């Protein structure tokens, strides 16, 4: 009997209509279009309206996905959403998606691994599929980063945008789908360099935490940059080596979109030409859990059945990883 693998059989994305350009940011904080572009590669990012939650974008992405794959809500067995900006602590965004899309035969839960969230969630979905428990899994990455971004902090407000992407995953017996994966974390070095200090049970919301701006994301950019390059390269190289994949064999590297200079450094270390690296950060910024599916959505028409793809991520925690996928359509 052929080995069951979990394949991506459809992808769709959603980004808000509102564009926040570098020129717009020049009027908000002490920065410039040239400075942002040279250091990050970002030209603009999308911003969701204040009265709309993360689930709004996630539902839009899933609606488009179900429509284009001719999938009925009752066919879905599992809904997983990667997010660090849920609508509320409970119920989960996955449960809200299920309610709004009339998905009644599935179980649902969220996964929080910051910028690594989508890859963690995709590999979690794979395990349910290869076990035989699930046939159709909806995997979503969605974040409203504008909600936790301090627009008085020029080191972080230039980076983040809002967006959502979704993929459908199904069993495959033809050798397509997820072939291998590596997931890692390092809490020893990651806890203090990239974090949101308040809003949890350790430091609940209060007038003091709000006044001290402790509900916004903060990072030590230089240290995070160093770890991101090192770990994304290391995980990508390891997954390629153990599957005998060279840069010539690879159709695309699909990296988390944190900073274009990070992407360039990782590609250079892997000896990959820039045209083999999916890049969307210039127009979406860092959408955290949504970056990988938005890459797939943007590049979908360029993908061919059998293409070798390597996903790689790095996020708060620290969390990171890589996956080798053979494209299924």
**Coil, helix or strand at residue 212:** coil
Model pLDDT, residue 218: 86
pLDDT tens digits, 50-70? 999 999 999 999 999 999 999
Give the per-residue pLDDT at 6. 98
pTM of the model: 0.95
Which one from 256, 259, 295, 308 is the annotated catalytic residue? 256
Residue 309 has pLDDT above 60, yes or no: yes
pLDDT digits (tens, 9 = 90+) for 280-297: 999 999 999 999 999 999
Task: For residue 115, indicate whether it is catalytic.
Answer: yes
Cα separation of 85 and 93, whole Å? Answer: 9
- DSSP secondary structure string for all residues of 106-175: -EEEEE--GGGHHHHHHHHHHHHHHTTS-S-EEEEEEEEGGGG--TT-TTTTTTB-EEEEEEEEEEESSS
Q: Which of 76-80, 195-199, 219-223 has the lowest mean pLDDT?
A: 219-223
With a cut of 90, say whether residue 271 has pLDDT above it. yes
CA distance 58 to 203: 28
Interval 76-98: pLDDT, tens: 999 999 999 999 999 999 999 99
**Active-site entry in 12, 286, 295, 308:** 286
Asked if the model's pLDDT at residue 237 lies above 70, the reply is yes
Average pLDDT on 199-215 reads 90
Q: Would you call the peptide bond into 183 cis, given omega within 30 degrees of 0 as the criterion?
A: no
- pLDDT class of 231 with cuts at 50, 70, 90: very high
Domains of the chain, each with CATH number or no CATH: 5-175 (3.40.47.10), 179-326 (3.40.47.10)
Look up residue 134 and give its two tokens: 């699930």
Residue 207 annotated to the active site: no
Per the residue annotation, which of 115, 134, 157, 295 is the catalytic one? 115
Say if residue 318 is preceded by a cis peptide, omega within 30 of 0. Answer: yes
Tens of pLDDT along 105-155? 999 999 999 999 999 999 999 999 999 999 999 999 999 999 999 999 989
Handedness of CA 293, 299, 303, 309 (dihedral sign): negative
d(CA 318, CA 28) in angstroms, rounded, equals: 30
Can you tell me the mean pLDDT for 156-181? 97
């Amino acid at each position: 009997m052929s080995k069951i693998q979990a394949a991506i059989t459809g992808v769709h994305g959603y980004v808000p209509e509102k564009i926040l350009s570098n020129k717009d940011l020049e009027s908000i904080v002490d920065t410039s279009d040239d400075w942002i572009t040279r250091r990050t590669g970002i030209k603009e990012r999308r911003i969701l309206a204040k009265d709309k939650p993360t689930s709004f974008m996630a539902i839009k992405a899933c609606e488009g996905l179900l429509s284009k794959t001719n999938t009925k809500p009752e066919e879905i067995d599992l809904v997983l959403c990667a997010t660090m900006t849920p609508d509320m602590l409970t119920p989960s965004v996955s449960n809200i998606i299920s309610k709004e899309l009339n998905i009644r035969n599935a179980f649902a839960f969220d996964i929080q691994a910051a910028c690594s969230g989508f890859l963690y969630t995709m590999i979690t979905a794979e395990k349910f599929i290869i076990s035989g428990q699930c046939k159709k899994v909806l995997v979503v990455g969605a974040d409203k980063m504008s909600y936790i971004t301090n627009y008085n902090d020029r080191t972080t407000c230039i980076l983040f945008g809002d967006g959502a992407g979704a993929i459908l995953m199904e069993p495959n017996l033809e050798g397509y789908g997820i072939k291998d994966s590596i997931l890692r974390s390092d809490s020893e070095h990651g806890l203090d360099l990239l974090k949101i200090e308040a809003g949890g049970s350790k430091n609940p919301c209060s007038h003091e935490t709000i006044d001290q701006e402790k509900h916004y994301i903060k990072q030590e950019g230089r240290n995070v940059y160093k770890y991101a390059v090192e770990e994304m390269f290391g995980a990508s190289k390891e997954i390629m080596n153990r599957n005998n994949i060279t840069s010539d064999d690879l159709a695309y590297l699909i990296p988390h979109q944190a900073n274009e200079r990070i992407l360039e450094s990782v590609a250079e270390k892997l000896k990959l030409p820039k045209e083999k690296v999916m890049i969307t950060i210039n127009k979406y910024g860092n959408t955290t859990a949504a970056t990988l599916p938005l890459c797939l959505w943007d590049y979908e028409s360029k993908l061919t059945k059998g293409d070798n793809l390597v996903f790689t991520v790095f996020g708060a925690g620290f969390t990171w990883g890589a996956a080798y996928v053979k494209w299924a359509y």
